[in-house]
Amino acid sequence: MTVEALSSAYQTLLSAIEAVEPRIAAATRAELADQRSSLKLIASENYASLPVLATMGTWLSDKYAEGTVGHRFYAGCQNLDTVESVAAEHARELFGADYAYVQPHSGIDANLVAFWSILAHHVETPALAEHGVKGVNDLSDADWEVLRRRFGDQRLLGMSLDAGGHLTHGFRPNVSGKMFHQRSYGTDPETQLLDYDAVAASAREFKPLILVAGYSAYPRRVNFAKMREIADEVGAVLMVDMAHFAGLVAGKVFTGDEDPVPHAHLVTTTTHKSLRGPRGGMVLATKEYAADVDRGCPMVLGGPLGNVMAAKAVALAEARTPAFQDYAQAVVDNAQALADGLLRRGATLVTGGTDNHLVLIDVRNFGLTGRQAEAALLDAGIVTNRNAVPGDPNGAWYTTGVRLGTPALTSRGFTTSDMGAVSDMIADVLTSATARPTKEGKPGKARYDLSADVVETTRAAAAELLGTRPLYPGFTL
């Protein structure tokens, strides 16, 4: 199908939507215009292909299919069985995993499935054996009460939020911090790099049931073989959350010790970040945990989203092509070029640079907070997000960092020389922006001044660059 034909198909679909609720059709059109006209450096976002997007808009959404392939709690699931099997097959073969569970609706859901699978495997199953019963419904109320408390008495060790970990890795605002006794490991105060000896020391002392590796804002690769050694030494389950960097694993940029799949007991991920699929999640597991993960529904999840599993299958098929491997390599090359450009302009980068898809600028030496930097960049048409840096003096709201990522721009075809230009735009804005003091004359954390000239020049430069790298070339709405 040509891109022209696809454009007119979408036009027709939007007119049908317009007839029912014009505001939704308008917002849908406006979002495409916004996506096309902004320099998107949000490290967790990407652009899914038109076939992936199209796959989501179908009647596969209308079917209930609780259960697993061939074992559903609803009748008539043969097509959903096909969809789920194809998606899982692609996931297993792409990542070299024993087992893939493609039902989770998001990254957080994937983590919940993984946590409860581990609890089922290591807490529930032994308890059932101890009582000589097959299922939880066969336990007496008193025994169930003991088991229920035991679930809540387990330990989890994950990366701290300010070092780049994720809320679901045991933090109190999230359910993971409520269901586990939690401890976190950070990074070395000097190098800001992961200190495996310190992780090991913490694991020996804390003896977690689950060791979580993976991150949302750590600009370096992780040695998962070392993490597995640590887990094995203390008898912990190694769970790797590759939500951010799954595309780099899929694209064979992270291999050997940097590929989590051969080393972890369970790997969780999103499908919409560097993997460039629909919004969703996935769990990969070794044979040992497969049966537990398979009970994600009804344990944690309700009915799977058939249309989204279908789109996962399409995105995973795309990720199995040589073109996707080139893409993944370009994501990393572009991040490197972005970091080099920023360093040349005097920026301070957490860990001094990057070797994955993201860059974390410590904006202190520009005299700004993360919040001011994020807002000033947005004024100039550059979309980023503020982020804590290790030991952040401004806390998680104002922060001291700005996180940048290259997966989205690389999908538009940005090259390393384009990234050089982007780093100049960012540096121009951060250099020109100044923190505005509060009325009481104290250093302000939110307000700032930025010259209209810089805004205009940067917007013009960004528009020109974006014009040469169109999103969905030839697609018109």
Ligand X SMILES: *Cc1c(COP(=O)(O)O)cnc(C)c1O
Interface of this chain with ligand X, residues 182 to 221, rule: CB under 6 A:
214, 216
Binding test (CB under 6 A) with ligand X, winner from 77, 87, 88, 107 = 107
Q: What is the nearest approach in angstroms of ligand X to the Cβ of residue 107?
A: 2
Q: What is the nearest approach in angstroms of ligand X to the Cβ of residue 318?
A: 19
Q: Which is nearer to ligand X, 251 or 341 (CB)?
A: 251
- Residue of 63, 273, 312, 371 marked active site: 273
- Residue of 55, 187, 268, 270 marked active site: 270
| Upstream peptide bond of 298 is cis (omega within 30 degrees of 0) | yes
SS (H, E, C) the chain: CCHHHHHHHHHHHHHHHHHHCHHHHHHHHHHHHHHHHCEECCCCCCCCCHHHHHHHCCHHHHCCCCEECCEECCCCCHHHHHHHHHHHHHHHHHHCCCEEECCCCCHHHHHHHHHHHHHHHHHHHHHHHHHCCCCHHHCCHHHHHHHHHHHCCCEEEEECHHHCCCHHHCCCCCHHHHHCEEEEECECCCCCCECHHHHHHHHHHHCCCEEEEECCCCCCCCCHHHHHHHHHHHCCEEEEECCCCHHHHHCCCCCHHHCCCCCCCEEEEECCCCCCCCCCEEEEECHHHHHHHCCHHHHCCCCCCHHHHHHHHHHHHHHCCHHHHHHHHHHHHHHHHHHHHHHHCCCEEHHHCCCCCEEEEEHHHHCCCHHHHHHHHHHCCEECEEECCCCCCCHHHHCCEEEEECHHHHHCCCCHHHHHHHHHHHHHHHHHCEECCCCCCCCCCCCEECCHHHHHHHHHHHHHHHHHCCCCCCCCC
Beta strands at 385-387 and 155-159: parallel, antiparallel or unpaired: unpaired
Q: What is the nearest approach in angstroms of ligand X to the Cβ of residue 214?
A: 5
64 is catalytic: yes
- Per-residue string for binding with ligand X, 256-285, x by CB under 6 A? --------------x----------x----
Confirm whether residue 169 is marked as ligand binding: no
Q: Which is nearer to ligand X, 240 or 462 (CB)?
A: 240
Stretch that binds ligand X, among 89-97, 237-245, 298-306, 321-329 (CB under 6 A): 237-245
Confirm whether residue 165 is marked as ligand binding: yes
270 is catalytic: yes
Binding test (CB under 6 A) with ligand X, winner from 68, 117, 168, 372 = 168
Confirm whether residue 166 is marked as ligand binding: yes
Q: Which is nearer to ligand X, 260 or 370 (CB)?
A: 260
374 is catalytic: no
- Per-residue string for binding with ligand X, 23-52, x by CB under 6 A? ---------------------x--------
Contact status: 108 vs ligand X (CB under 6 A): yes
Q: Which is nearer to ligand X, 44 or 182 (CB)?
A: 44
Q: What is the nearest approach in angstroms of ligand X to the Cβ of residue 187?
A: 16
- Residue of 92, 226, 252, 279 marked active site: 279
- Residue of 29, 64, 188, 436 marked active site: 64
Binding test (CB under 6 A) with ligand X, winner from 72, 121, 166, 371 = 166
Q: What is the nearest approach in angstroms of ligand X to the Cβ of residue 159?
A: 9
Q: Which is nearer to ligand X, 160 or 270 (CB)?
A: 270
Contact residues for ligand X, defined by CB under 6 A? 44, 106-108, 111, 166, 168, 214, 216, 241, 243-244, 270, 281
Q: Which residues are annotated as a binding site?
A: 161, 165-167
Q: Which residues are catalytic?
A: 64, 66, 241, 270, 273, 279
Q: Which residues are annotated as a binding site for (6S)-5,6,7,8-tetrahydrofolate?
A: 161, 165-167
